[in-house]
Structure 1
Amino acid sequence: MKKEQCPLCYSEMESIDCTPCHDCGHFENEVKKFNVIGGKFNVYDLYDGLTLQLCDLCKIDFGSYKSDFLGFKDSTTIGFENMNFITEIDKPKMEKDKFCPECKMRMKFLTFISSLREKINE
């Protein structure tokens, strides 16, 4: 089996179970909570066609990511007011994803950040 590398730091990725949220879905407490009570998840266009699937808490908290982490050279952030709702996830379920032990994030989120940085630099 081919080993995947993190798109940001190039560390070797691990396979883990995740909730449908691309931001916090890898957190152990979120996995436990989801297995008990489920959750609501929506897909949003966050920047020029780049989408993420987020829980209610992460959609509100997304604006706290620092501009330089996202790839902006100024003080631009992506807050809830900048998100365009696309669709609600019908019957959300657990999924496998890769996880970077160095960045402490899952592949779907890391891929979004990598794509965002590329798009900002175009």
Structure 2
Amino acid sequence: MPIDATQPYNDTNIFARILRGEIPSQRVYEDEWAVAFHDIAPQAPVHILVIPRGAYASWDDFSARASADEIAGFVRAVGHVAREHGLVAPGYRLLANVGAHGGQEVAHLHVHLFGGAPLGPMLSR
């Protein structure tokens, strides 16, 4: 169910619980800024979620409140995961949903990294 992007951060969300190790994940990368893991319901041959370690509800929240180091570290982590999975040369897609109209379902910033096959048009409409 899509969420309101203006709601405050709730540390009981699934990604906060993954960060704390309460819920298992198939991690492919982690550093001081971010954790990346395979999506449990992949929508492409490669479907990895990258989340910041900080408590940010959405891209809007992150871009407004994160430090320059957090932002740089997170963006570098996304790029690193794409390179490590061989996605750069054939191409890949990044998706960060924000709020109800954007289809955001978990109130913790997360970037979907899709690749491994041609992905088609951005929107089907």
Q: Give TM-score scaled by structure 1 length.
A: 0.27
Higher strand share: 1
Q: Give TM-score scaled by structure 2 length.
A: 0.26
Higher helix share: 1
